Structure 1
Amino acid sequence: MVAQDTAVVERTRTARSTAPAPRTPRGRRPGPAPWLLLAPALVVLGGLLAYPVYQLGLISLFHYTQAQVSGGEPTTFEGLGNYAELFGDDRFWQVLRDTVLFAAACVVCTLAVGCALAVLLTRVRAVPRLALMLAALGAWATPAVTGSTVWLLLFDADFGPVNRVLGLGDHAWTYGRLSAFFLVLLEVVWCSFPFVMVTVYAGIRAVPSEVLEAAALDGASQWRIWRSVLAPMLRPILVVVTIQSVIWDFKVFTQIYVMTGGGGIAGQNLVLNVYAYQQAFASSQYSLGAAIGVVMLLILLAVTLVYLRLLRRQGEEW
């Protein structure tokens, strides 16, 4: 079995090494043409992202509440005082921990479902493939509010069909902390896996058929082909969908807010985005809400930079 796996990996590396790769001539650097082509998009993104991020960071440095918004009191500079208050609050660290664990579970489940269905698409006929693609794209196109409402109806304690099928009686999924998180996780995975499925399926279709046939002739199982052949060749695509999933799932708001009624009973299902909303708009502590937003931005930026660095290292080693 070890010899077969080694042969599969060697064949994969040989097939990848034979493909010509474009190289920049030594001693020459890319000209300004790429930046000129990207300039319109950079200008639009700068206008849509740079200014709001600047305002978010600015508000987080001041004492900014409803009194300052209405003009009843002057705005005072707090520096890092809002961040000190935030980091000294045990509730913030609990919400941050729950957010990280919930986002990690959503990312893992989304990638697992999306990759499994992408492989399935390559093994079914045209009609079932088209039906699965249309169903997945329907889930992808459904607005978050609509999807969350539908899932609440499916798991409703009185009229939901899920409890009747499972024989759970009048079990209320949103009352328990873990069951509510699990219900939201199902909805997040349902509306997120189509992006992973379509992207990975496109990557699999681009893999040379000779590589997969060689792995099958060497006696590799489907799981071994995925782990030793497809996953390494699809590493750049997998990194991209992972980063996207981390960003989307870490800043989940609509599903939690709609399905748990604003964060669950006594805030037991709070995540950072909902917590920031409560601080900024429910409590009128706009500066604390902005500070939470800045912390979320820095966390997501750090995650993205780490993944890109790992991708670069793995590419050099491979």
Structure 2
Amino acid sequence: MTTDTPVAAVRGRTRPADGRSRATPRPPRRTGPGPRGRAGGIPWLYLAPALVVLGALLVYPIYQLGLISLFHYTQAQVSGGQPATFEGLGNYRRLLADEQFWQVLGATVVFAAACVLSTLAVGCALAVLLTRVRALPRLALMLAALGAWATPAVTGSTVWLFLFDPDFGPVNRLLGLGDHSWTYGRFSAFFLVLLEVVWCSFPFVMVTVYAGIRSVPAEVLEAASLDGASQWRIWRSVLAPMLRPILTVVTIQSVIWDFKVFTQIYVMTGGGGIAGQNLVLNVYAYQQAFASSQYSLGSAIGVVMLLILLAVTLVYLRLLRRQGEEL
């Protein structure tokens, strides 16, 4: 029986046309994990100290928060006068049946969304402006923004209260509003707090987005300008898609920060406004836990806030992955 091919494979050997068999070279066998296997655990060794610190600072407090929310834990239990009794989900049922909780939750969501959108708009606009001005104005703007960012929340809130003070504030004088009180009305008080939150939050967005814009090749922006694209079109069609990973980070950070605002609301509205009209979840949890000594109920509010923030973050990341973004 003859074949058309000069070589026939027989049990791992090749037979050339001269009839002599030659062994086929085989790849060497791995006898250990190899360099790649050994290097796989090295990053975890570098991350181990940070993971230990995060576990001590985050995991254990969250565990204690969830544990307290499952018990009846008030001042009597703190002082040792009465034992803590297990209630399971009783605190959560009380919380979900409370009408004020739903009102505060709705106000918190709307207020946080307004703060996030305003912060992103101001930060991105100023980041683009930084790329258009000369070195000296850019330096002045950066220093002013970093000064606002470095100002403590209590100090910044006090300064903004003075600026809008009905008796001595310069804003009312410039606008001719007389003795108008910005903290008396619900919406005007929320608006005043929003201004302060944006003022102390936009520098992070501005600096981060500006660094991302500087990493975009100049040829791309020049090509878009030569094609006749406006500044808004360049941002929407060129910069925003290329900066999407950076915008993802600043958006998630802004959502977390603005959803759990406490200091600005507490200082500028006197603990939640008249009759609690300016309460947000963080201030509401503080009132329940420390003003009313309902520590378990305050812990339950904290757990609900944590779950909401996790859900928002996961949904946002899932939408980005559907769009083909690598995270």
Q: Which TM-score applies when normalising by structure 1? A: 0.90
Whether 2:259 is the aligned partner of 1:250: answer yes
State how far apart, in whole Å, the 1-side matches of 2:46 and 2:319 are: 28
Q: In structure 2, which of residues 189, 205, 209 is the aligned counterpart of residue 196 of structure 1?
A: 205
Q: Given that residues 184 and 256 in structure 1 are in contact (C-alpha distance below 8 angstroms), is that contact kept between their aligned partners in structure 2?
A: yes
Q: CA deviation at 1:29?
A: 12
Measure, in 1, the Cα distance between the counterparts of 2:96 and 2:85: 20
For the residue of structure 2 that corresponds to 1:315, the secondary structure is coil
Matches within 5 A, 1:302-313: 302-313=311-322
TM-score between both structures, scaled by the size of structure 2: 0.87
* Change beyond 3 A, Cα 1:82–1:30: farther
What stretches of structure 1 move > 6 A for 4+ residues in a row? Answer: 27-30
Query: Which amino acid letter does the alignment assign opposite residue 286 of structure 1?
Result: Y
Task: Look up the equivalent residue of 2:267 and give its one-letter code.
Answer: V
Separation in 2, partners of 1:282, 1:198? 39
Larger relative contact order (C-alpha < 8 A, sep ≥ 6)?
1
Asked if 1:275 is matched to 2:278, the reply is no
Task: Give the gaps of 5 or more residues in structure 2.
Answer: 1-35
Q: What is the CA-CA distance between 1:311 and the residue it aligns to?
A: 2.4
Separation in 1, partners of 2:185, 2:56: 43
2:147 to 138, 145, 153: 138
- Report if aligned partners of 1:57, 1:294 keep a CA contact under 8 Å in 2: yes
2:300 to 280, 291, 316: 291
Distance 1:29 1:202, change over 3 A: farther
User: Following TM superposition, by how much is the alpha carbon of 1:314 offset from its aligned partner in structure 2, in angstroms?
Assistant: 2.1
> Which residue in 1 is equivalent to 2:270?
261
Counterpart mapping for 1:1-318 below 5 A: 31-316=40-325
Deviation at 1:316, TM superposition (A): 4.9
Alpha-carbon distance in 1 for matches of 2:325, 2:199? 35
Report the CA distance shift for 1:274/1:195 in structure 2 as closer, same or farther (over 3 A).
same
User: Percent identity among equivalent residues?
Assistant: 89
1:305 Cα deviation (Å)? 1.3
Provide Cα deviations, 1:264-292, integer angstroms capped at 9, x if missing partner: 00000000000000000000000000000
CA contact (8 A) 1:236 1:311 kept: no
Q: Deviations over 1:86-129 (max 9, x none)?
A: 00000000000000000000000000000000000000000000
Q: Secondary structure of 2:323's match?
A: helix
Shift of 1:310: 2.1
- Counterpart CA distance in 2 for 1:30 and 1:204 is 34
Q: CA RMSD in A?
A: 1.4
Q: C-alpha separation between the residues in 1 aligned to 2:121 and 2:269? A: 25
Structure of larger gyration radius: 2
How far apart in 2 are the matches of 1:44 and 1:185? 33
Q: C-alpha displacement at 1:32, in angstroms?
A: 1.9
Question: How far, CA to CA, are the matches of 2:265 and 2:79 in structure 1?
Answer: 30
Flag structure 1 segments of 5+ consecutive residues without an equivalent. 1-26
The count of aligned residue pairs is 291
